[in-house]
Structure 1
Amino acid sequence: MTIVQCENLVVTYRTGLGRVRALDGVDLTVRKGETLAIVGESGSGKSTLGMAMGRLLSEVAEREDGRLDVGGQPVFDIDDGALRALRRDTLGFVFQNPMMALDPTMRIGRQVERAMGRKARADQIHALLQRAELEDPERVAKSFPHQLSGGMAQRVVVAMAIARRPRLLIADEPTASLDASIRDRVMGTLCRLRDETGASLIILSHDVHMVAHHADRVAVMYGGRIVEQGETAKVLGAPEHPYTRALLKAAAGHEKPGDWLMPIPGTPPLLTARCAACSFEPRCAVAADICRSTRPEPRMVADRQVLCLLAGGASDQKEGAA
């Protein structure tokens, strides 16, 4: 059973320089109860895809093509009442900066009560905070956000996200603003609560080492498309797409003294229209002539879906055909 079904989704933003294409035809399925990590550089489109699932995009964003179903509801085609019900009953969001997600003028207990959607007793609020592994829930409930550490504030956001037992949790860079010493603890809390509620979890992140420990599947995004997706151990252990390999070589976290990280040369593309070729070609170390003239389409290579014309040793046949 699927909780998210995305087909050829195209989203653009209106800017002073014209329309910019953030999603260039995304195809994605998220199954019930699984944890999927969507990884990629800033500008790859992962946050746009995550926010689109709750139709939380800015006013300058527009869906130009494709379909996105969440919990069986076509997100971009339902009315406002159905959208509110979807956000209330199906979705839970954990945002990158907890201090931006919380109301600075309201005590934590009141904010948690509002997230629960009903009048709640103090002990019920404390119990929810305690489920999120906050050691002194009574003190936390009486506090304002600025009186909490970053890790505590993020656990409050997690508690609010699971308050109505959503079917889908979307965590956008949930540990990016936290110290390294508590990132694993917060992710552990989030994953434990996912297991308790039976929700699916989507993690949007650039931290490939972190998601390797927590995700069942991984989808790698570049240029507004998913360029490789499959089981986490297979994709990150033996990547087929050149961008996935480059992303792993550039990722900090597991290097040894004396090791050099290999930054990816160039910058992500700024698309103003449908990309007619491979968007990674200008930065790719193994690109061939066909990559500059042919738009790759998803195909199965080594037990995962890959968006590369050369993956799996297909380059000789394709270049000959070209």
Structure 2
Amino acid sequence: MIVEIKDLSVRFSTGRTALQALDEVSFRIEQGARIGFVGESGSGKSTLANTLGRLLPTSAVIEATTFSVGGQAVNQLSSKALRHLRRDTIAYIFQDPMAALDPTMAIARQMRLVLSEDDASLSDRLVGVGIRDPQRVLSSYPHQLSGGMAQRVTIAMALMRRPRLLIADEPTAALDASLKREVMDLLFARCAEIGAAVLFVSHDLPLVRHYCDKICVMYAGRIVEQRKTAALFSSPAHPYSRALLGAEPGAAKFGERLVAIPGVPPALYEPTNQCAFAPRCPDAQIACSQRRPEDLTVDGGCAKCLFPNTAELREQA
């Protein structure tokens, strides 16, 4: 087990108040697994990704029953041990490759900081991520590369030390649509070669569906549904999951309008004692505003809903 998380909560101090960014999140990732995290902006996806490597500001307070990555209790690691974890166990790919690369250093020098190798070995690594002119790229600075080329460089750098877990946070957000599948094919193929698990954060539901074996749907800092990909897309259990899939542009038929999710996600200043999605849920009942939903077993996983698959059950009644 590469990641084991139970009851992980993160809050940020904002003066007199505290923002509850993650609220009792629990999940596991096995070696070699491909797990996707989806949800609206502000749902906690990126906060969760950064928490795994403790890449959070000092204002963050992390609490968890279990918080283990690579067999290590991350919240108890010293600064030195944490650097080793980030170097040898976890690798990150962020959405903006130009921001991830140092603009003052040539690519070759940046790659040698990750792993000391000669130019011939570095060239082989760039060829491995589909770069046809590696020598030119090695001598270039980030601003001299296209977005797709720069993202290929960050992929090569992320995988140089053969991490056990790759966290990809919107890795195709800065790329043209024509390059997305090409870069994602490359990323997941290379991870499969080295046996790395992938935690893929994205708003692009078709990409997540294509590449991930399991999906976690996040809302208001909680995982409201986590299931095998095929099960979630064929019969989403949580009303928020259904709404999210219904708002996906590719889900609309010709001539149909997309169905937007009404309202906005809540800003949580403390753990809620009700279903956070209740004010926006078309299937909400009185109990939804009175009880905090916990995991209920459904086909292929679980969902935090008092009345999972409500709409489908009503149609069948």
TM-score, normalised on structure 2? 0.95
Residue type of the partner of 2:154? V
Kept after mapping to 1: 8 A contact 2:239/2:309: no
Cross-structure match for 2:261: 264
Cross-structure match for 2:217: 220
Note the 1:281-300 alignment, pairs <5 A: 281-300=278-297
What is the CA–CA distance in structure 1 between the aligned matches of 2:185 and 2:168, rounded to whole Å? 13
Give yes or no for the alignment of 1:49 onto 2:48.
Answer: yes
Cross-structure match for 1:180: 177
- The runs of 4+ residues in structure 1 deviating greater than 4 Å are none
Question: In the TM superposition, what is the alpha-carbon distance from 1:312 to its structure 2 partner?
Answer: 4.9
Kept after mapping to 2: 8 A contact 1:301/1:312: no
User: Structure 1 residues 142 and 254, CA, compared in 2 at 3 Å: closer, same or farther?
Assistant: farther
Aligned length: 312
Question: In the TM superposition, what is the alpha-carbon distance from 1:313 to its structure 2 partner?
Answer: 5.7
Kept after mapping to 2: 8 A contact 1:10/1:66: no
Note the 1:298-309 alignment, pairs <5 A: 298-309=295-306
Give yes or no for the alignment of 1:7 onto 2:3.
Answer: no
| Amino-acid identity (%) | 47
What is the CA–CA distance in structure 1 between the aligned matches of 2:242 and 2:187, rounded to whole Å? 28
Residue type of the partner of 1:50? A
What is the CA–CA distance in structure 1 between the aligned matches of 2:167 and 2:87, rounded to whole Å? 13
* Candidates 250, 253, 259, aligned match of 2:250: 253
What do you get for the CA RMSD once the two structures are aligned? 1.5
Question: In the TM superposition, what is the alpha-carbon distance from 1:286 to its structure 2 partner?
Answer: 0.4
Give yes or no for the alignment of 1:96 onto 2:95.
Answer: yes
Cross-structure match for 1:202: 199
Question: In the TM superposition, what is the alpha-carbon distance from 1:81 to its structure 2 partner?
Answer: 1.5
Kept after mapping to 1: 8 A contact 2:91/2:163: yes
Give yes or no for the alignment of 1:311 onto 2:311.
Answer: no
Kept after mapping to 1: 8 A contact 2:6/2:64: no
Question: In the TM superposition, what is the alpha-carbon distance from 1:236 to its structure 2 partner?
Answer: 1.5
User: Structure 1 residues 108 and 66, CA, compared in 2 at 3 Å: closer, same or farther?
Assistant: same
Question: In the TM superposition, what is the alpha-carbon distance from 1:17 to its structure 2 partner?
Answer: 6.0
Residue type of the partner of 1:147? Q
Which stretches in structure 1 are left out of the alignment for 5+ residues? 317-322
What is the CA–CA distance in structure 2 between the aligned matches of 1:38 and 1:66, rounded to whole Å? 21
Cross-structure match for 1:319: none
What is the CA–CA distance in structure 1 between the aligned matches of 2:60 and 2:88, rounded to whole Å? 25
User: Structure 1 residues 255 and 134, CA, compared in 2 at 3 Å: closer, same or farther?
Assistant: farther
Question: In the TM superposition, what is the alpha-carbon distance from 1:241 to its structure 2 partner?
Answer: 0.5
**CA offsets, 1:46-79, max 9 Å, x none?**
1111111101112221114443110011111111
Q: Secondary structure at the match of 1:14?
A: strand
Note the 1:100-179 alignment, pairs <5 A: 100-116=99-115, 118=116, 120-179=117-176
What is the CA–CA distance in structure 1 between the aligned matches of 2:192 and 2:56, rounded to whole Å? 28
**CA offsets, 1:107-157, max 9 Å, x none?**
1111111122x2x11011111111111121111111111111111111111
TM-score, normalised on structure 1? 0.94
